[in-house]
Amino acid sequence: MSQPRLEKAVADREISKSERFLHCCLPPKRTMSTSNITQNATSALSPLPGAAVGLTVLSLAFILGFPGNAFVVWSAGCVVRKRTVTCLLILHLAIADLAVLLTAPVFLRFLSAGNWELGEAVCKACHYICGVSMYGSVFLIALMSLDRCLAISKPFISQKIRTKRTTWLLVLAIWVAAVFLAIPVLFYRKVIFWENRYICLILHPTTNHLIFHNLFETITGFVVPFVAVLYSYGTIGLRLKETRFRRKRRTNHLIGLIVLAFAIFWLPYHTVNLLDVAAVWSGSENVKKDAKMARPTLVALAFFSSSVNPILYAFSGSSFIRSAGFGFMAKLFEGTASEVSSYRRGTSRDHQYQADAKLANLNNVSPESMTMSTNPVENGSSREHEDTFKPLKSP
C-alpha cells in the first residue's frame, strides 16, 4: 500500500473511533468525511458546545483559587510555627489544587480558540496533572477524616501514632498512589482532527476500555475514599454523642466543610461516568446523549472545586482576622493542635467520671461528690472544660 493511502486509512480509522467513543463536549451525532481534513484550517470555527460556561467557570476558578491556594501554601508552609497533622494535610491539599489551577490557562486557550493548538504531549500532560490532583485531593481528605476519627475516638492511641514521620510517610504514599492511579489518562487522551479543528479528548479503542476506565476512576477516585469518610464521620458522631460535647470543634467543622464541598463538586462528574457505562450496557442512545451534553458543565464544576477550600478556610478563621491580620490562617491551623490535646484531657475526665459514677452506685453516693473529694486538682481546673463537656448521667 502506498504511503498516501496508508495515511488516509489511518485517518479514517481514527475518525471512526472518535464517532463511537467521544467523551468530550461534542454533540452525539455527527458525520465526518475525509474531505473535511483537506478544508482550510484557517476558516472560522464555531464555538465548542459548553464553551461559554467553561470559560466563565474556569476563569472564576483561576481568579479565586490561584491566589487563595498560594496564600494557604504560604501560611501553612512558611508562617505556621507548630505544624499539626491537619495543617500538613491542608498544605498538600492546597498544592494539589494549585497544580490543577496551573493548567487553567491552557484550557482557557482551547475553549476560547475552539481548537487545540499545543499538541498531544501537552494534552496528555495537562489531563494527567488533573488526574493526579483528583486522586491526591480525595485521598488527603479521606486521611483528614480518619485522623479526626482517631483523635476523637482513640485520643491516647492517636497521640502515640500521630508523629511527623508517620504523617510524611502517609502523605508520600498518597502521592505515589495518585501518580500510578492516574496513568490510564496517558493512554486514553488523544488529539484528533474533527470538523476542521483539533480536539484533545478521551478516546477508548473499545467499549470494554470505556467501561474499565470509567468504573476504575469512579471506584478508586470517589467510592472507596468516601466510604472511609462516611465511616469516620459516623464514628465521630457516635463519639460526640456519647461524651456529650456542648459545642462543635472548629477543626471538625472545617474538615466537614471540605468533605462536603468535594462531594458536591465531584459527585455529578462521577455520576456521568456511570451514565456512560449504563449507556453502553443498555444500548440507550438517549442516556448516551444526556451524558455527553452534561459532561462539559460537570467537568467545569469539578475543576472549580480546586478554588473552594481557601474560601472555606477564610470563613472558618474569620475570628482571627482582626487580631492576626494576614496571619489569620496560620492561627487557624495552629489551633488544631490545642484541640487534639483538649480531646485527650476531656476524654480522661469523662472516663474518670464514668468510673466514679459506677463506684457511687455501689456506695449510694453522688458521683459529683466523689469527683469533688477524689480529684481536687481537676476540680480546681474544671472551668477549663465547662464549655466543652457535659458530664454523663449516672446509669
Look up the CATH number of the domain holding residue 215. Answer: 1.20.1070.10
pLDDT by 10s per residue, the chain, length 395: 554 454 444 445 444 444 444 443 443 333 333 334 334 444 456 666 667 888 888 999 999 999 999 988 988 877 777 778 888 898 999 999 999 999 999 999 988 888 898 889 999 999 999 999 999 999 999 998 898 888 888 887 878 888 888 989 999 999 999 999 999 999 999 998 887 889 898 888 998 999 999 999 999 999 999 999 999 888 887 877 766 554 456 667 778 888 888 889 899 999 999 988 988 888 878 888 888 888 888 888 888 888 888 888 777 766 665 655 555 556 666 555 444 444 444 444 444 444 444 444 555 555 444 444 444 434 444 433 333 334 444 44
Cell numbers describing residue 172: 508520600
Task: For residues 69 and 72, give the distance between their C-alpha atoms in angstroms, rounded to a whole number.
Answer: 5
In a domain, 172, yes or no: yes
Task: For residues 71 and 161, give the distance between their C-alpha atoms in angstroms, rounded to a whole number.
Answer: 30
b/e per residue, 304-332, with b = 16+ CB within 10 A?
bbbbbbbebbbebbeebeeebeebbbbbb
Q: Which alpha helices (H) appear in the chain, and where do they start and end?
A: 3-21, 51-74, 85-101, 104-113, 119-153, 155-161, 164-181, 184-188, 207-218, 224-243, 250-282, 285-304, 309-316, 318-324, 328-363, 367-374, 376-380
Answer whether 189's CB lies under 8 Å from 202's CB: yes
In a domain, 363, yes or no: no
Answer whether 105's CB lies under 8 Å from 118's CB: no
Answer whether 24's CB lies under 8 Å from 201's CB: yes
Residue 24 is classified by DSSP as: S
> What is the structure's pLDDT at 127?
95
The backbone torsions φ and ψ at residue 377, rounded to the nearest 5 degrees and listed phi first, read: -65, -45
- In sequence order, the 6+-apart residues with CB closer than 8 A to the CB of 144 are 86, 89, 90, 255, 258, 259
In a domain, 242, yes or no: yes
Residue 19's nearest CA partner among 173, 199, 143, 182 is 199
Against a cut of 0.75, is the pTM above it?
no
> What is the structure's pLDDT at 47?
63
In a domain, 369, yes or no: no
In a domain, 42, yes or no: no
Answer whether 278's CB lies under 8 Å from 287's CB: yes
- In sequence order, the 6+-apart residues with CB closer than 8 A to the CB of 24 are 199, 200, 201, 202, 295, 296
Task: For residues 115 and 107, give the distance between their C-alpha atoms in angstroms, rounded to a whole number.
Answer: 10
In a domain, 2, yes or no: no
* Domain count within the chain: 1
Residue 276's nearest CA partner among 289, 266, 259 is 289
> What is the structure's pLDDT at 353?
44
- In sequence order, the 6+-apart residues with CB closer than 8 A to the CB of 315 are none
Cell numbers describing residue 273: 461516568
Answer whether 141's CB lies under 8 Å from 306's CB: no
Cell numbers describing residue 173: 504514599
- Residue length, the chain? 395
Task: For residues 25 and 8, give the distance between their C-alpha atoms in angstroms, rounded to a whole number.
Answer: 26
> What is the structure's pLDDT at 165?
87
In a domain, 57, yes or no: yes
> What is the structure's pLDDT at 178?
96
> What is the structure's pLDDT at 319?
61
In a domain, 38, yes or no: no
For residue 270, what are the domain limits? Answer: 18-28+48-328
> How deeply is 206 buried, as exposed, middle or buried, from its count of CB atoms within 10 A (0-12, 13-18, 19+)?
exposed
Residue 193's nearest CA partner among 14, 13, 21, 7 is 14
Residue 385 is classified by DSSP as: T
